[in-house]
A and B are shown apart, each in its own frame.
Chain A
Amino acid sequence: MKRETKLGRRAVLAGAALALAAPALRAQTQARVNIFAHRVHRTVATGAQGGDITEAWARENNATVEWVTFDTGPLQDRLMREASLADSTVDIGFILNTQATPRIATLFEPLDDLMRQAPIEELGDVFPGMLDGLKVGGRLYGLPFRHASSGMHYNETFFEERGISGPPRTIEDLAEFARRTTWSRNGQPVVGLVLPGVTYPNVIDIARAWDGEFITPDMRVVANEKPMVNAITLLRDLFVAGAFPRSFTAINTEDVNVWMQTGRAAMVVNSMGRNAIYNDPARSQFPGKIKTTTIPISREFSNKFEVAPAKVEFWGMAIPKNAKNKERAWSLMRAMLSKDSTLRAALNGNGPVRNSTYDDARVRAQLPFADDERKVLRVARVPMPAFDNAQRAADFFKEEAEAAVLGMKTPQAAMDDLTRRVRPLLQS
């Protein structure tokens, strides 16, 4: 009897040990795919409404998908460091379109061969501008996953209170509406227009009302031409009129969210996808009242464009050159860019990179600005072509734009100085 009891204990202990070890053993036999991404990528890829778009692939391939998430700056820093090593555990990294430069491309695997061996589903459905934006020297280095196209958000309540019906039709109207919606509402100051600073992606959206550029796709600096000078002049005039925040240099995207949610600003030019944040019933004092539309074109260009060719920026998935299993990484990227995955990620809040996604009834119900966004995507362009010194050029822009809006220089002088300073960066 005693002997049996002893055996029984051993069996129980062995069983318990096996039960404890089983998950670890199973994990050891499973392949692990590491993705370095921004937190938003994980959110839209694994959200509740559309579900986890990696789950089916992971099950079929007996793999686990590990997300390591960072803010934009630290993500790029960490990803480039990992990609610079002799070998890396990173399988997929998210890069911005501005990072598809010749120097950075040396750290990542060209995808053309992988695409030939196992093409992605209906490549023609993916917005071609986004695919082109991830090409360097004619070779593809990333698959687009998420885009942010710019639009104009306005507080409908404020417009009604100030006797304005509907959004501005031209950029000149926008400036006028900004002045009219700058007032003290129940003792709280409201500013007509807010932007997350005057960095080039924000100002370019205004300049696109005149079809303007900072640097053209053929790498000419045209910041001192009329469209950009018009945009800076508009912001300077609004600043002087008090219709643009006194603290604009210190306002970031998160601040803008709060300004719109709390009614401190009447209008903002920002990515269209921010509509959900501005109308979030849990945080916004104006849920359902922040409307989103396209950025209006200038009167002089109203015959050429229906809406301003606003900026579009996008994230792409890339495979580091030192990744251990590139085929497996490609396989997951294909799955994440399938039509179904793109749709499900859009339901989770992603900016879809496929044209067909906008036809889905659920997406259209969720995005009241879906038609406007598609209108923008037809004409939208990246804010600046990618090149090695792009970050320095961007900071030169911010510096000169701030100087002009604050009145330290005239808009024309600031943009002349900017053009002179940026030209050498394109040659190096």
Chain B
Amino acid sequence: MTAALANPARVSPIHVAMVAPVQALLIGVVFLPSLYVFWLSFNESSFGKAPSWVGLKNYVAVLSDPYFWRAFGNTAIVINIVVYLELLLGLAIALLFAGGVPMRRVLISIVLAPYAISEVAAVVMWRFMLDPSVGMISQTLASLGLPTIEWAVVPAHGLAVVCALSVWLHLPFTFLILYAARLAIPADLYEAARIDGATPWQQFRYVTLPALVPAILVAVLFRYIFAFRMFSEVWLVTGGGPARSTEVLAVYLYQEAFRYNEFGIAAATGWLMVTGSIVLAIPYLYVVYKRTLAGDA
């Protein structure tokens, strides 16, 4: 495939035909709606009111709204905690499993289990466990003389619960990518390192880590993009409260679109989020490109 891309003459009509359905699907359900939303972001639009062109007014309104910036700040905090905590945990578990653990298949199933649970069910379960008066986590903390996690009334606690829930739900994604990449590292390299007298830390630093960097970049990039649009964890746990203090960008967008029916402002928020995601992704994409595609060509 890489060779075919390197030599356009080898891209035959059959290749085009084979990828055409996917391309058509992407154009139909992503590209064209995106263009419509882009157009909508320059209009004032709601139910019972024809769209009217307002230029950049919606962008100005969003960017001058303190709730947008609060949501942006919360999003930045949550995604950085979630993505890097997941990376550390995913890497640690991947290395532990690759190093050999008893009942590895069972343990892998346990690590992957949260991925099979719907987000709504997971949130209901966590909320029940964290109920301040009757939740088993709260009661355990109380029996140990520790303070309760007041996620419903203390914003910092609410965001911490959202982070913990999100890490728990999405850890399998990061783990799978890193575990597969770790298993792909040839054993010869470790054998050579050991013969050369490398300590376990040196083996990790000079053999494992360089080999895992492409996988780490892919995992981080995808998780950043997914976490940037985080909605259900926040909406179902705190609803953005108390007093809108735990809102993230996707919740802000949802409120504008589906509670206030301000479609122009919601569209502008959507495009600002897309722009933010692209800006966030560019450094990672650049490194990934340099390390993989450019290296292959």
Contacts and interface: CB of A to CB of B under 8 A. Distances in A.
B242 interface: yes
Contacts of B131: 247
Given A189-B133, A408-B243, A391 B259 contact: yes
Contact of B152 (A81, A247, A398): A247
Contacts of B41: none
Contacts of B261: 80, 391
A264 interface: yes
Contacts of B202: none
A285 interface: no
Interface stretch (B30-38, B44-52, B90-98, B283-291): B44-52
Nearest to B49: A103
Interface in B271-289: none
Most buried by B among A81, A246, A389, A395: A246
Most buried by A among B47, B131, B151: B47
Given A246-B132, A264-B134, A395-B255, A402 B242 contact: yes
Contacts of A83: 47
Given A189-B134, A391-B260, A250 B243 contact: no
A107 B133 contact: no
B48 A104 contact: yes
A399 B243 contact: yes
B243 A392 contact: no
Contact of B153 (A77, A105, A249, A395): A249
Nearest to A390: B260
B152 A248 contact: yes
A406 interface: yes
Interface in B121-136: 127, 131-134
B201 interface: no
Contacts of A248: 152-153
A249 B242 contact: yes
A104 B261 CA distance: 11
Contacts of B58: none
Nearest to A321: B48
Contacts of B127: 250
B75 interface: no
Q: Is the interface of A mostly helix, strand, loop or mixed?
A: helix
Nearest to B47: A80
B289 to A, nearest CB: 41
Given A246-B133, A249-B241, A103 B48 contact: yes
Contacts, number: 79
B153 A406 contact: yes
Given A103-B48, A402-B241, A249 B152 contact: yes
A5 interface: no
A275 B238 CA distance: 28
Nearest to A250: B152
A403 interface: yes
Most buried by B among A106, A107, A189, A399: A399
Contacts of A398: 241
Contacts of A84: 47-48
Interface in A228-250: 245-250
Nearest to A105: B48
A103 to B, nearest CB: 4
Contacts of B241: 249-250, 398-399, 402
Given A246-B150, A264-B134, A400 B243 contact: yes
Interface in A68-93: 73, 77, 80-81, 83-84
A165 interface: no
Nearest to B255: A395
Interface in A386-428: 389, 391-392, 395, 398-400, 402-403, 406, 408
B47 A246 contact: no
A117 interface: no
Interface in A155-202: 188-189, 191
Given A246-B150, A250-B127, A400-B243, A106 B48 contact: yes
Contact of B48 (A107, A189, A264, A408): A107
Interface in B1-53: 46-49
A14 B153 CA distance: 70
Interface in B227-250: 237-239, 241-244
B239 A250 contact: yes
8 contacts: A73-B258, A80-B47, A248-B152, A250-B152, A250-B238, A391-B259, A391-B261, A406-B243
Interface of B: 46-49, 127, 131-134, 148, 150-153, 237-239, 241-244, 255, 258-261
Given A248-B153, A392-B259, 14 more contacts: A73-B258, A73-B259, A81-B47, A83-B47, A106-B48, A246-B150, A246-B152, A247-B133, A247-B153, A249-B241, A249-B242, A250-B241, A395-B259, A400-B243
Interface of A: 73, 77, 80-81, 83-84, 103-107, 188-189, 191, 245-250, 264, 389, 391-392, 395, 398-400, 402-403, 406, 408
The 7 closest A-B pairs by CB, nearest first: A247-B152, A250-B152, A80-B47, A103-B48, A249-B242, A106-B48, A402-B242
